[in-house]
Structure 1
Amino acid sequence: MCILTACTAGFLLDQLLGDPAWIYHPIRMIGYLISWLEKKLYREGGSARTLRRRGTMLWVLTVGISTTVPCLLLFVASRIHPVCTWMLETFWCWQLLAARSLKAESLKVQEALTYGTLDDGRRAVSMIVGRDTGHLTEEGVVKAAVETVAENTSDGVIAPLFYLMIGGAGLGFFYKAVNTMDSMIGYRNDRYLDFGRTAARMDDLCNLIPARISAILMMGAAGILGMSDRAHYSLQNAWRIYRRDRHNHKSPNAAQTEAVCAGALMVRLAGNAWYFGKLYEKPSIGDAIRSVEREDIQRACHLLMGTSWLGLLFFGLARLLFLW
């Protein structure tokens, strides 16, 4: 019961306040740890086997430290008083969820395009995507923001909530360490193809179930939103595109929510993109039933928030029924 109430309280704090910027953020600390370990373990010119072994060592150390430290602190808190444990669990659940901050950062892109210039939009979207943004058209900027909201609905909200509800903050930190490693070293380029292979594959494994739950929940959100705005949300099309395009990505998970979002909004997403100065050919997701427009960023955020609340309801009921 402690985990359920702590997760619920943390979720509500995230919805109301977003990330607590007045104190350290654990994801940033995990990022510093990954960067430090990478400097110690990565060696230019090493064989593929050696790089894979060193990358696996980085993964084990990062996950081990990132999970053990909060578990030890929770143990210490439990020796003081159960309320201390609950408060720490709640605080960390608040920090590990990112619905409000994801919404806020993506809406900055829409605001930049509306009240600023295309370059302002490019700069704003560069803060939330990993691709090169200097060459993007306005449509490309909007699509990049919408895709990020769609994918991070799973990575930033539903997946961490899934692990938090199962094992509390300790398991939540485990997931965020895995996910942060993938975002930092899980690339298919010359430097990380071998060194980041373990990070990429373990992230795929850990997101296998949450990504699909996220897609289902997002379809539910599309259905609810479509009751009042059929012109911009379609559950029927979301289901059609999901079945057709959910595998249109090298990652087995990334296109799950992107396909639902593209279908629900009735637009075409994805396609070729530049990373580190190199063009990568990628299939598109969805059909261009209508043109992409700035307001689609806000509509994607509505899907994000609807999916988040449905996720809390679904996981909360599941914990009450099976784990309480």
Structure 2
Amino acid sequence: MLNLEILVILFIALMIDLIISDPDWIPHPVVMIGSLISWLEKYLLKNEDSPLRAKFKGAILVIIVLGLSYYLTSLLVDLSAQLNQYFAYVLDLILLSLTLALKGLIDAGKKVYSALKNNDLELARKKVNLIVGRDCSQSSKPEVIRAVLETLAENTSDGILAPAFYYLIGGLPLAVTYKAVNTMDSMLGYKNNRYINFGFAAARTDDLFNYLPARITALLMTAASFLLRYNFKGALKTVLNDASKHPSPNAGYPEAAAAGALSLRFGGVNYYHGQKSFRAYIGQQNKRFELDDILKLKMLIYFTVALFFISAAAIFALI
């Protein structure tokens, strides 16, 4: 496919995602990938497995899921092209739009914003609990805002720029493969007794795939903060000083850029399954968390995505 065609398809796919997101009548690749992961886990993981055996089986699962995701998507793309090129374009658009989560991400933030704006803290807690891994059932209003800001920032990379990045360098098969990586990590990448060994390969694979997208997101988010007249210097300083403090080798980068741009401090005390956990602070607490911070981050995400597309077009023009 020509560079121009790739860019046009990506742009239209983003527009489709913004307008209709993930319609129920289209089978979602993530659902099918998740079913495969669950089936393999049930077949492979046994309670009597030693740590080494569990890691080995987890690596087998990763290889199978990645191989099937890439191969079946490539096969589908090739077959559709043989049938009709226009049909192939439509299929590419639909499937690519399903790997993107721009509208879903923004809508999730809007739901929390609306609940807080209506002074319904209980509803806001329920809405934020749907999109974060921590327990926010007893969180204060500022903590709910912090939770939604952190997850929106992190998922700007995981849910939008990363699949777009892999589509640009490897087409639809690599974009779907990335979603498989992301899905494996979300299902198996937990540090509990069940998954600490079996999910090791899935978590490390996710770290590898997100290494470049997370840093690209932080760079573009910092540039976007300059265009929006947010705290550009704070964004840059926080990325350089604090991004590596996050327990994830990647999530800290977009979170640091967002925290600095909004002059906020992320991190602190979280609760997971009733257990108190402290996460290192990211950013400087120059102001308190405010409801409008959610709207400001929404604009920062839009500008970051726009800069990604413009940057890709500029690079492709030079190739």
TM-score, structure 1 normalization: 0.94
Q: Aligned partners of 1:179 and 1:317: how far apart in 2?
A: 28
List aligned pairs for 1:1-324, cutoff 5 A.
1=2, 2-226=5-229, 233-322=230-319
CA displacement 1:215-254 (0-9 Å, x = unmatched): 011011111111xxxxxx2101111111110101121101
- Contact residue 42 and residue 51 of structure 1 kept, 8 A: yes
CA displacement 1:127-153 (0-9 Å, x = unmatched): 111111222111111111000110000
In structure 1, give the amino acid aligned to 2:154: E
Q: CA deviation at 1:158?
A: 0.8
Q: CA deviation at 1:116?
A: 4.7
- Contact residue 245 and residue 286 of structure 1 kept, 8 A: yes
Give 3-state SS (helix, strand or coil) of 1:187's partner: coil
Q: Aligned partners of 2:294 and 2:129: how far apart in 1?
A: 15
Q: Aligned partners of 2:98 and 2:301: how far apart in 1?
A: 18
Considering only aligned residues, what root-mean-square deviation do their CA atoms show, in Å?
1.4
In structure 2, give the amino acid aligned to 1:164: Y
Q: CA deviation at 1:95?
A: 1.0
Q: Aligned partners of 1:298 and 1:111: how far apart in 2?
A: 11
Give 3-state SS (helix, strand or coil) of 2:245's partner: coil
Seen in structure 2, the aligned counterparts of structure 1 residues 283 and 69 have a Cα distance that, compared at 3 Å, is same
- Contact residue 42 and residue 195 of structure 1 kept, 8 A: yes
- Contact residue 51 and residue 195 of structure 1 kept, 8 A: yes
- Contact residue 89 and residue 168 of structure 1 kept, 8 A: no
In structure 2, give the amino acid aligned to 1:314: S
Runs of 4+ in structure 1 over 4 Å off? none
In structure 1, give the amino acid aligned to 2:201: T
Seen in structure 2, the aligned counterparts of structure 1 residues 320 and 84 have a Cα distance that, compared at 3 Å, is farther
TM-score, structure 2 normalization: 0.95
Give 3-state SS (helix, strand or coil) of 1:44's partner: coil
Q: Aligned partners of 2:58 and 2:317: how far apart in 1?
A: 39
Unpaired runs of 5+ in structure 2? none
Q: Aligned partners of 2:266 and 2:196: how far apart in 1?
A: 26
- 310-319 or 192-201: bigger deviation: 310-319
Question: How many residue pairs end up in the alignment?
Answer: 316
- 286-295 or 13-22: bigger deviation: 13-22
In structure 2, give the amino acid aligned to 1:135: Q
In structure 1, give the amino acid aligned to 2:311: F
What is the aligned-residue identity percentage?
39
In structure 2, give the amino acid aligned to 1:54: K
- 129-138 or 161-170: bigger deviation: 129-138
Give 3-state SS (helix, strand or coil) of 1:288's partner: coil
Q: Aligned partners of 2:237 and 2:313: how far apart in 1?
A: 29
Seen in structure 2, the aligned counterparts of structure 1 residues 21 and 319 have a Cα distance that, compared at 3 Å, is farther
In structure 2, give the amino acid aligned to 1:50: R
Q: CA deviation at 1:207?
A: 0.9
Unpaired runs of 5+ in structure 1? 227-232
Q: CA deviation at 1:166?
A: 1.0
Q: Aligned partners of 2:298 and 2:21: how far apart in 1?
A: 14
- 254-263 or 128-137: bigger deviation: 128-137
Give 3-state SS (helix, strand or coil) of 2:244's partner: coil
